[in-house]
A and B are shown apart, each in its own frame.
Chain A
Amino acid sequence: MSSVKIPPVLRQHTGGEALVEVDGASVGDVLRGLAESHPDTRDQLFSPEGDLNRYVNVYLNDEDVRVLDGLDTAVSDDDTVVILPAMAGGR
């Protein structure tokens, strides 16, 4: 099981959980697994065509999956997948 770090704006869709354990061999598998167990996250993560939304950054441990193999990037049990949407609050 890989750990997925849930950003604050998505926690309302994971019952408040900040860390969710999901099975999967690739980053895409893990995120689709998350969307299955917590369906309200699906539209936030994926476009209707099943691609990762452009405004969602996903990291495998500390590396952006865009510079790895994207959703095909292989994950192992000890890995952490970080979902990171941009935040604008400053005031």
Chain B
Amino acid sequence: MAVKEPLELVRSQIRELNPVEAKEALDADSGIALIDTREPHEYEEAHLEGATLIPPALVGQDIGAKVPDRSKPLIVYCRTGNRSAYAVKQLQDLGYEDVASMSGGIELWQDLGLPVAAAEGMTAEQRERYSRHTLLPEVGVPGQLKMLDAKVLLIGAGGLGSPTALYLAAAGIGTIGLVDDDAVDASNLQRQVIHTTDRVGMAKTSSAKLTIEALNPDVEVVEHNLRLDAGNVLELLEPYDVIVDGADNFPTRYLLNDASVRLRKPVVSASILSFDGQISTFVPYEGPCYRCLYPSPPPPELAPSCSAAGVLGVMAGVVGLLQANEVIKLVTGIGEPLIGRLLLYEALGTRFTELKVRRDPECPICGENAPEIAEADLGKFPDYEAFCRG
């Protein structure tokens, strides 16, 4: 089609049936061919029972093979009735004699409560809830199902963990584990948006669980009301697919790195301080690990905490959501994760800087000469607290 005719002109030249009329016609005559003229990912999400998919761009090319008999009655639909109107006009021009477009499309059909053949594995509520995800060709129903199956562990249910957990929960990550041994404090509320004023004093994992369950009942929240240490880290990480590091101290970050490399679990790591943030994704043996980037921790005077130095509340949101974005890419397998790249964000200048991070051949954990870890040695770590103090 060279120039698209105006929709109104096209509609004046074709026959349209509303969804109720279309259903009556289909029920009365099993000889009618039903054509869905949308994109494959839309069809996959939900379509009318018995419909044949012919995307708009392929109508002229594919109809001959799918419906060779030009006298056969056809009903064509799309999402809202616009694409199907053009398709019907085109089919008429090709010599199809009895063609109708379904006005209002599958959207109106569903609004009227008429039945559809929906994607397997999702309930009607889930198809509605995640429709803006499944409409994205890169995600689709398969991507959403991966999210619903995914198990993600958040280290810290505080500044970074709050926005990350909220958006991962909204996105339908099926299992979210929360590791935090802290209780909600009034000074947290300026940035830890998963908690509320009336929950000051409550365990952060419990408070976060309340918010997540109110947001999305699909999510199973697993509370780990404890502090990550060498004795529990392997057992904690084991059931999860992706780890999100929002820890507030170096011992935890090095411990988590070493354990995740041993278990080959990807870690989305970020930190924030005052007006600055940094984030990278560490996928063991595919890219560098945290120790390749930072071989040794800085002395205390160069590593103030947020409680000592302050942090702009929105930094947690900006950087925490970059972490959530990384998690979704890792889980669904789309896009380019931040592997081998460190992204810096400076809020005052609103500047992003990207630095290259390479695997260190000398890395004691993932380097070429790093010792193989025997089963019996798994879970044995040096005294990180002393190491970082020293």
Q: Chain B nearest CB: distance from A79 CB in Å?
A: 14
- Mark B270-310 against chain A: 1 for CB-CB distance below 8 A, else 0: 11111110100000000000000111111101111111010
Q: Which residues of B contact A75 (CB under 8 A)?
A: none
Known: A88-B305, A89-B273. 13 other contacts (CB 8 A): A5-B353, A9-B302, A9-B304, A44-B301, A62-B353, A67-B358, A85-B302, A86-B271, A86-B294, A88-B253, A88-B271, A89-B271, A90-B246
Q: Are A85 and B298 in contact (CB under 8 A)?
A: yes
CB pair A90–B247 under 8 Å, yes or no, is yes
B249 located at the interface, meaning its Cβ lies under 8 Å from any Cβ of chain A in the complex? yes
Q: Work out how many contacts link A and B, with CB atoms closer than 8 A.
A: 112
Q: Is the CB of B273 within 8 A of A87?
A: yes
Flag if B303 contacts A85 (CB, 8 Å).
yes
Bound state CA distance, A84 and B278, in angstroms?
10
CB-CB under 8 A from A87, the residues of chain B are 271-273, 276, 278, 303
- Collect the chain B residues with CB atoms within 8 Å of residue A82's CB: 353, 355
Task: Report how far A62 CA is from B352 CA in the complex, Å.
Answer: 12
| Interchain nearest-CB distance for A67 vs B (Å) | 6
CA distance A55 to B138 in the complex (A): 40
0 or 1 for each of A1-18: is its CB under 8 Å from B? (1 = yes):
000010111100000001
* Residue B130 interfacial (CB < 8 Å): no
* A-to-B contact residues, CB < 8 Å: 5, 7-10, 18, 44, 54-57, 59, 62-64, 66-67, 82, 84-91
Contact of B299 among A8, A55, A57, A88 (CB under 8 A): A55
Within 8 Å CB of B358, what residues of A?
64, 67
**Whose C-beta in chain A lies nearest to the C-beta of B315?**
A89
Known: A62-B356, A88-B248. A54 touches B295 (CB 8 A): yes
| Segment with Cβ contacts to A, from B54-62, B110-118, B155-163, B324-332 | B155-163
For B160, the closest partner residue in chain A by CB is A90
Distance of A5 Cα from B344 Cα, bound (Å): 12
Interface string of B64-104 (1 = CB under 8 A from A): 00000000000000000000000000000000000000000
Choice from B158, B304, B344 contacting A90 with Cβ under 8 Å: B158
Q: What B residues does A55 contact at CB under 8 A? A: 294-299, 302
Q: With A8-B273, A8-B274, A8-B275 as given contacts, are A84 and B355 in contact (CB-CB < 8 Å)? A: yes
Q: Does B183 contact A (CB under 8 A)?
A: no
Structural contact, B248 and A86, CB atoms closer than 8 A: no
User: A86–B303 contact, CB under 8 A?
Assistant: yes
A90 and B302 form a contact (CB under 8 A): no
**In whole angstroms, what is the CA distance A54 to B275 when docked?**
25
**B45 in the interface, Cβ–Cβ < 8 Å?**
no
The complex places the Cα of A71 from the Cα of B365 at a distance, in Å, of 25
Closest to A87 in B: B271
B159 touches which one: A18, A59, A67, A91 (CB < 8 A)? A91
Q: Does B354 contact A (CB under 8 A)?
A: yes
B356, A90: Cβ atoms under 8 Å?
Answer: no
A45 → B minimal CB distance (Å) = 10
Q: Which of B274, B301, B356 is the one whose CB lies under 8 Å from A64?
A: B356
Contact yes or no, A57 B297, CB < 8 A: no
